[in-house]
Amino acid sequence: MPDLAPWITFRPEIKVLDCTIRDGGLINDSRFDDRFVRAVYQTCLEAGIDYMEIGYKNSKRLFPKDKFGPWRHCDEEDIRRIVGDNNTSLKLSAMADAGKSDWQTDILPKEESVLDMIRVACYVNQIPEAVAMINDAHEKGYEVSCNIMAISAAQQVEIQQALEVVAQTPASVVVIVDSFGALYCEQIKMYVEMYRKALEGTGKEIGIHAHNNQQLAFANTIEAIIRGVNRIDATMGGIGRGAGNCPMELLMGFLRNPKFRIRPVWQLLQDQFVKLGETLDWGPSPQYNISGQLNQHPRAAIAARSGPQKYDFVDFYDKCIGDV
């Protein structure tokens, strides 16, 4: 007999990853100060969150240290300055981008690092390097995920081929990534089924990372959960590049597992995010809505939001449809 009201129960397999510092760092060149990062870390602990993604493992050649904050590189001494040895139940992750990371040298063996997971991010055309990165991180002793980005802009046959390849790797999680915030709930259902079929029999989990261009990040995340996705990304206050991500406070309010506690999240938003919102720009706006509807990268919307024509919505729309 099917559950009559499944929304009042919970699935213990669900694990939540907070990517506030990593995705939020895309709007301030990863220049969060130690006080803020420590506050997010403490909130993750108190809220019962499973993973905290503390930043990127990006190349210092491509992202010089004098132009980017420490969370673009996640050097061991910077992480330990915040978490010490992290003798807690909270696991730490960092993201390494294909084409942007010196992963052979910058990712240390697990026994030398406080990190637990490496999340390998790539586009479909970067799958060969991503496979090498996944194998390298696994051999070094880490949990590994593969985040195939911008799937709304890729051909389905390309995604299917990428999944066939990733299915043979030691990555334990493969994440559906709606980089442009362009997907609707019906498409999330379709992609979950595609990923499940491709990964059947491998033991790999499916994850969801949603962007909020059309104010659907939370709805799409719920849809993925309903369809059986167990690895869930969210950020405090929905902070993230452009329109941001699924807000942690909404996700915590939806999940019924008593191990999750929402009050620490509200406390963080009150103590840290009110002031932060005065200096950083994220969240839904007409420009991000337009870029999501047109399935376009949000870089043009980001530029428009920071320029003198911030409120010229029609001009932005006309330029965007001229590029379609």
Q: Specify the pLDDT at position 323.
A: 62
The C-alpha angle 306, 311, 313, rounded to 5 degrees, equals 110
pLDDT band at residue 5 under the 50/70/90 scheme: confident
Whether 205 and 149 map to the same domain: the answer is: yes
* 95 to 19, 59, 263, 289, 308: CA distances (angstroms): 10, 12, 28, 27, 33
Q: How confident is the model at residue 8 (pLDDT cuts 50, 70, 90)?
A: confident
pLDDT at residue number 7: 85
Q: Is residue 189 part of a domain?
A: yes
Residue 243 tokens, joined: 């329109």
| pLDDT classification of 3: cutoffs 50, 70, 90 | confident
pLDDT-based confidence at 324, cuts 50/70/90? low
Q: Does the pLDDT of residue 214 top 70, yes or no?
A: yes
Same domain, 105 and 149: yes
- CA 110, distance to chain mean position in Å, is 22
Confidence of residue 259 (pLDDT cuts 50, 70, 90): very high
CB-CB contact of 134 with 161 (8 Å): no
Question: Does residue 206 share a domain with residue 140?
Answer: yes
Residue scoring higher pLDDT (207 or 3): 207
What is the pLDDT at residue 231? Answer: 98
Domain-located, residue 16: yes
Read off the pLDDT of each residue in 275-294 and give the average, rounded to a whole number. 95
At position 311, the amino acid (one-letter code) is: Y
Give how far the C-alpha of residue 273 lies from the chain's centroid of Cα atoms, to the nearest Å.
Answer: 19
Is 281 contained in some domain? Answer: no
On whether the CB atoms of residues 220 and 197 are closer than 8 A, the answer is no
Contact residues for 307 (Cβ-Cβ < 8 A; gap 6+) = none
pLDDT greater than 90 at residue 312: yes
Average pLDDT on 169-189 reads 98
Please write the tens of the pLDDT for every residue from 44-59: 999 999 999 999 999 9
SS3 120: strand
Residue 209's φ and ψ, nearest 5 degrees, are: -130, 105
Q: To the nearest whole percent, how much of the chain has pLDDT over 70?
A: 99
Within a domain: residue 1?
no
Same domain for 201 and 296? no
| 217 and 300 housed in the same domain | no
Residues 111 and 163 placed together within one structural domain of the fold: yes
Mean pLDDT of 147-151: 98
> What per-residue confidence (pLDDT) applies to 212?
98
Q: Are 51 and 18 in contact (CB under 8 A)?
A: yes
Q: Is there a single domain that holds both residue 130 and residue 264?
A: yes
Residue 17 sits in the same domain as residue 64? yes
Q: What tokens were used for 96?
A: 């390494």
Helix (H, G, I), strand (E, B) or coil at 109: coil
Mean pLDDT of the chain: 96
Q: Is residue 43 part of a domain?
A: yes
Count of structural domains within the chain: 2
List, for residues 11-48, the tens digit of each pLDDT value: 999 999 999 999 999 999 999 999 999 999 999 999 99
The parent domain of residue 63 ranges over: 6-276
Number of H helices, E strands in the chain: 14, 8
Q: What is the DSSP letter of 172?
A: S
Shared domain check, 228 and 120: yes
Average pLDDT over residues 119-125: 98
- Whether 32 is covered by a domain: the verdict is yes
List b or e across 47-61, with b for residues whose CB sees 16 or more CB atoms inside 10 angstroms: bbbbbbbbbbbbbee
Task: With respect to residue 209, please indicate whether it lies within any of the assigned structural domains.
Answer: yes
